[in-house]
Amino acid sequence: MFVAQGHAGRTVRSCDGGESWIDDTSDDDAIRCFSDGFDCDHHPGAGKGIVYGRDHFFATFGWGMPRGVLRSTDGVTWEPTLEGTTFGGLAYGNGVLVAGARNARVTADQGATWNDAVDTTLEGWNVRRSAWVNAGAAGLFVIVGDGDGGPDVVLSEDGTTWWHPMSFPKGECGNGVQTEGGIVAGNGTLVIVGGDGMACRSTDGGRNFTSHRISDGTSSQAVFDGSHFWVWARGTAYRSADGASWESMTTTPSVDIGPVAYHPTLGRFVAVRGGWQTWYDGQVFWHSDDGVRWTVAGTFTGGHPIRFVSEGWAPPSERCPLP
């Protein structure tokens, strides 16, 4: 199952590999983001990240104005687990959920209880992206945020003890990572892709990074499909097995991918149109089995901006059977 998270508290799910999107809800369907002064980026309903862990989807909403972390077993009904605060994304791994902030919060019981704030030692105060990746000895939590002279990165094996890389090309890595690019890992390599088209990779568990140019800029988020890293710009897919050398392919049609996720069991990508003012009547949901040839979803409703998509599992039901 895929669950997409958007602004104004929006969530919508697909139970058939991205062919149709159902149970589309938000805090208020009538508002229009970035119209008449309504700033959805700085609002309690601002979508800041969604992940799946064990038997729950977790989503964090709120930026500039607080909300917190919610959880759901089906992607439709959500309950708050941590309120009155904001985070720059979520990361789930090894049974631990980290809410990304300069002073991060951590839960090891699916959000039932949270620890006191943990100082990540991030140079700045604003976290721009958070992720757990299968890198290092047993996986790593990675946070990218503001820093001195460029984005800063901190890493942790357990979410409570954080450290900086020994080398990280300041000013070259993690730029524009808030809604584009991302933090991904595979083939023994950790890759941080920036929205400026720069990939920074580590082959030693995050201790040292080197920068590698993909393109002049990317519009999409980044994913790993089990063999390759992927990122997109308008009409072009970029693919790499090692995060250093990237090949480009022309997409069919000329799509402008934004939020994207990959389902390893289905072998399928799903994506939502990226760019500015590409929501409501301009919003499009796609799916693809190869990352190059894309098909418009058969059923969806344009709505508030989508910011992230996650894949996971929910108990089968009549409305949402297993695909």
- 252-261 average pLDDT score: 98
The pLDDT of residue 36 is 82
- 255-282 average pLDDT score: 97
Distances (CA, A) of 100 to 111, 142, 241: 14, 9, 28
In a domain, 141, yes or no: no
Predicted confidence (pLDDT) per residue in 36-58, tens digit: 889 999 999 999 999 999 999 99
CA distance 258 to 274: 4
The pLDDT of residue 323 is 64
In a domain, 151, yes or no: no
Instruction: Tell me how far apart the terminal alpha carbons of the chain are, to the nearest angstrom.
Output: 8
The pLDDT of residue 54 is 93
* Number of domain units in the chain: 1
- 258-274 average pLDDT score: 97
In a domain, 246, yes or no: yes
Residue 238 CA, chain-centre distance (Å), reads 18
CA distance 98 to 115: 10
- 264-275 average pLDDT score: 97
Predicted confidence (pLDDT) per residue in 66-79, tens digit: 999 999 999 999 99
Burial class (CB in 10 A: 0-12, 13-18, 19+), 242: middle
In a domain, 64, yes or no: yes
One DSSP character per residue, 66-128 reads EEEEEEESSSSS-EEEEEEE--S-EEEETTEEEE-SSEEEEESSTTSS-PPPEE---SSS-EE
CA distance 238 to 180: 14
* CATH number of the structural domain spanning residue 70: 2.120.10.80
CA distance 191 to 188: 10
Predicted confidence (pLDDT) per residue in 278-321, tens digit: 999 999 999 999 999 999 999 999 999 999 999 999 999 999 98
In a domain, 124, yes or no: no
Distances (CA, A) of 46 to 7, 30, 39, 41, 131: 5, 16, 9, 5, 18
The pLDDT of residue 281 is 96
3-state SS, residue 295: strand
In a domain, 47, yes or no: yes
Nearest one of 151, 107, 158 to 132, comparing CA atoms: 158
SS3 content of the chain, % helix, strand, coil (to 5): 0, 45, 55
Distances (CA, A) of 231 to 118, 215, 276, 287: 32, 10, 18, 15
In a domain, 298, yes or no: yes
List the beta bridge partners of residue 266: none
CA dihedral angle for residue 243, residue 246, residue 251, residue 257, rounded to 10 degrees: 40
The pLDDT of residue 149 is 85
Residue 21 φ/ψ, nearest 5 degrees: -125, 125
**Is residue 322 pLDDT above 80, yes or no?**
no
- pTM comes to 0.96
In a domain, 318, yes or no: no
Residue 199 CA, chain-centre distance (Å), reads 16
Domain residue limits at 38: 2-92+183-311
Predicted confidence (pLDDT) per residue in 153-177, tens digit: 999 999 999 999 999 999 999 999 9
CA dihedral angle for residue 3, residue 162, residue 122, residue 225, rounded to 10 degrees: -30
The pLDDT of residue 147 is 86
